[in-house]
A and B are shown apart, each in its own frame.
Chain A
Amino acid sequence: MALSCVLEPALSGFNFENSTRNIVLENGSEEGKIKAPKPMKTGTTIAGVVYKDGVVLGADTRATSDEVVADKMCAKIHYIAPNIYCCGAGTAADTEKTTEMLSSNLTIFSMNSGRNPRVVMAVNILQDMLFRYRGMIGAHLILGGVDCTGSHLYTVGPYGSMDKVPYLAMGSGNLPAMGILEDRFKANMDLEEAKSLVSDAIHAGIMSDLGSGNNIDLCVITKEGVDYIRPHKESPFNYKRQAKYKYKPGTTPVLTKTVTQVELELLDETVQMMETAGSS
C-alpha cells in the first residue's frame, strides 16, 4: 500500500540500551546513588467544542514537574496544519514531539497530493503510532479542525483509542471542565457563546485542579482561518519580580591574573585531495 507521507520506520519497540546503565546508577553505592529525573507532566485542563461555524479549543498554560510549576506560559495548543490544531495533555515531551511529527507528515502529504489534510487523517496517523507504542507514549490529545467535510473534534488516548464527540475535556482538570460543558453545551452555538463556554470550562479546571493554572489560551478554527488567542484571559495573580538579579560586570574584583602560553607541536600532517571537478 503506497503511503504518501513519511512515517518513522517501524522499529521493534523501544531502545532499551540504557536501561542497564540506569539500573546501575540508581542502585549504586550510597554516595553514588543518582535519582533518575522525572518526566515533566503538563497536569492540564484542555477542552474543545464544536460550534456553528467551526471548532473552539482551549487550554490552561501551566506545566508542572511534581509540585513545582516548571512553565507558567506553556503553549498546549499545537499547530498541526493550517486548518487543524491539537491540544495535548499528559507528558509534555510526548505531546510536543508527537504533534510535531504529525504536523511534518501532514505537510509532506499536502505537498505530495495537493490536498488540504483532513482531521480524520490526522487522527488515523496518531492512532496507528500510539497503538504501536502500546501506551508508552503518554499523550492524551484533543484534535480539532475544519476541513472540506465539516468541523470535527476528536480525542485520541495514549493507548490508541479514539472518540469523535461534539464537546470534550481532557487532562487532570477535566472533571470540573466537563461539568461546565455538560451543563451549558448546546448544538450550533454562536462564536461568543462557544468562546465563553470553553473559557469557563478551563477556568473551572484551573480553580479546582492543582495541576492547572495561570492563563487561558483559546484557538478558534473556522473555514476562513484560525484565530489563536494567546492569552485569552490572564491570571490576575501574576507576580512581577521585585528587583533585577543580574550582576554588573566588575562586581567581582580580580585579585591576580596569570597568563600561561601553551606550546603546541605539529606532529603529523596529511593532505586529502577532494574531487571538485564535475562529472557527466
Chain B
Amino acid sequence: MATALQFPANVSTLNNYNDLYPDWTQREVSTGTTIMAVEFDGGVVIGADSRTTTGAYIANRVTDKLTPIHDRIFCCRSGSAADTQAIADAVTYQLGFHSIELDEAPLIQTAASLFRDMCYRYREELMAGIIVAGWDKRRGGQVYTVPVGGMMTRQPVSVGGSGSSYIYGYVDSNYKTGMTKEECLKFTAEALTLAMERDGSSGGVVRLAVISEQGVERQVILGNQLPKFSTV
C-alpha cells in the first residue's frame, strides 16, 4: 500500500517566533488530508475532506481537493497545497494538449503517468501525494495512486493523506470486489468520516464525485449529515 503522509516535513516542533507574528505565518499551506478513490464496474467514486491548514490554523474549511484534469479524469490532492495546485495545472495543460493532438479522450493511465513523471523528477522539491481516477473507454473505471516520491501503481481502492493511516484497517476489511455505485459511495463516505474524526488535519465536509461514461456527478455531505458511529 502507498506510504501515508504523516505531517509535512517542514513542521518544526520548537516554535521560533516573534510575539508580534504568530508562528503559522511562517508555515507553508498544507492540505494534511484524507483522500480516497474506489473503482466499480462502470466508473470510479472519489472523495476527500475539505480542510487546509497552515500549521495549527485552518486556512480554508471548505476546500475542494477533487480537481478536474479532463472531462472524465479527476485528481485528489494531498500534501502541500501550492505544489499540488501547480502540478495539477501543469498536467491539465499537458493532457489537454495531448488530447487535442490525438483528437480523442485521454487515458487515465496517461494522466497518471504525467503526474508520476513530474512528481518523480522533482521529488526533492515537491511534497505531493496524488490519486488520479477516472473513466476511459479502453479500461473503464481506474484508480492510480502517485504517492510522495513519485511511484505510480493502479489499485482498486486507494487512500491517501495524513488521515489515511487511521482507516487502512477499515478499508481493508470492508472493501469487496463487485460493489455497486451506491455501495461505493457509502463505503467512501464512511471511511472519510472515520478518518476525519481521528485526524486533526482532516475535517469539514465530505466531497464526493462519481465519474462514469455518463459524466461526473458531484455531491457534498455537510458536517451534520455525516454518517454516525457509536464511539465518535
Q: Mark B9-35, 1 if CB is under 8 A from A, else 0.
A: 000000000111110010011000000
Do residues A163 and B52 form an inter-chain contact, with CB atoms below 8 A? yes
Do residues B85 and A161 form an inter-chain contact, with CB atoms below 8 A? yes
Do residues A172 and B20 form an inter-chain contact, with CB atoms below 8 A? yes
Is A135 an interface position by the 8 A CB rule?
A: yes
Chain B: interface size category: 20 to 34
Do residues A165 and B86 form an inter-chain contact, with CB atoms below 8 A? no
In the complex, A43 Cα to B20 Cα: how many Å? 8
Q: Mark A185-203, 1 if CB is under 8 A from B, else 0.
A: 0000000000000000000
Report the interface size for chain A: residues with CB under 8 A from the other chain: 25
Check A159/B25 contact, CB under 8 A, given A165-B62, A175-B57.
no
Residues of chain A lying within 8 A (CB to CB) of residue B57: 175
Is A76 an interface position by the 8 A CB rule?
A: no
- Return the contact of A64 from the options B20, B25, B28 (Cβ within 8 A): B20
The minimal Cβ–Cβ distance linking B40 to chain A, given in whole angstroms, is 31
A-contacting residues of B (Cβ < 8 Å)? 18-22, 25, 28-29, 52, 54, 57, 59-60, 62-63, 80-83, 85-86, 89, 125
In the complex, A15 Cα to B26 Cα: how many Å? 23
A/B pair count, beta carbons within 8 Å: 60
The winner among A67, A131, A175, A210 for most chain B CB atoms within 10 A is: A131
Do residues A161 and B20 form an inter-chain contact, with CB atoms below 8 A? no
> Closest residue to B25 on the A side, CB-wise?
A172
Knowing that A161-B82, A172-B22 touch, tell me 5 more A-B residue pairs with CB under 8 angstroms: A134-B125, A159-B28, A159-B80, A162-B85, A211-B21
Is A41 an interface position by the 8 A CB rule?
A: yes
The minimal Cβ–Cβ distance linking A181 to chain B, given in whole angstroms, is 12
Check A165/B60 contact, CB under 8 A, given A157-B29, A159-B29.
yes
Residues of chain B lying within 8 A (CB to CB) of residue A67: 20
Do residues B63 and A163 form an inter-chain contact, with CB atoms below 8 A? yes
Do residues B20 and A210 form an inter-chain contact, with CB atoms below 8 A? yes
Do residues A163 and B21 form an inter-chain contact, with CB atoms below 8 A? no
Check A127/B86 contact, CB under 8 A, given A43-B20, A140-B25, A211-B20.
yes
> Closest residue to A159 on the B side, CB-wise?
B82
Chain A residues 99-157 with CB under 8 Å of chain B are: 124, 127, 130-131, 134-135, 140, 155, 157
Do residues B85 and A127 form an inter-chain contact, with CB atoms below 8 A? yes
B-contacting residues of A (Cβ < 8 Å)? 41, 43, 64, 66-67, 90, 124, 127, 130-131, 134-135, 140, 155, 157, 159-163, 165, 172, 175, 210-211
**What are 30 A-B residue pairs whose CB atoms fall within 8 Å in the complex?**
A41-B21, A43-B21, A66-B18, A90-B25, A127-B82, A127-B85, A127-B89, A131-B83, A131-B86, A135-B28, A135-B82, A155-B59, A157-B28, A157-B29, A157-B59, A157-B81, A159-B29, A159-B81, A159-B83, A160-B86, A161-B28, A161-B29, A161-B85, A163-B52, A163-B63, A165-B62, A172-B25, A175-B22, A175-B57, A210-B20
In the complex, A175 Cα to B55 Cα: how many Å? 13
Residues of chain B lying within 8 A (CB to CB) of residue A130: 82
Do residues A157 and B82 form an inter-chain contact, with CB atoms below 8 A? yes
The minimal Cβ–Cβ distance linking B9 to chain A, given in whole angstroms, is 14
In the complex, A130 Cα to B208 Cα: how many Å? 30
Residues of chain B lying within 8 A (CB to CB) of residue A134: 125
In the complex, A172 Cα to B54 Cα: how many Å? 13
Check A163/B86 contact, CB under 8 A, given A43-B21, A67-B20, A157-B81.
no
The minimal Cβ–Cβ distance linking A174 to chain B, given in whole angstroms, is 8
Residues of chain A lying within 8 A (CB to CB) of residue B82: 127, 130-131, 135, 157, 159-161
In the complex, A163 Cα to B80 Cα: how many Å? 13
Do residues A161 and B21 form an inter-chain contact, with CB atoms below 8 A? no
Residues of chain A lying within 8 A (CB to CB) of residue B80: 159, 161
The minimal Cβ–Cβ distance linking B207 to chain A, given in whole angstroms, is 14
Residues of chain A lying within 8 A (CB to CB) of residue B86: 127, 131, 160
In the complex, A130 Cα to B83 Cα: how many Å? 11
Residues of chain A lying within 8 A (CB to CB) of residue B125: 134
In the complex, A276 Cα to B150 Cα: how many Å? 63
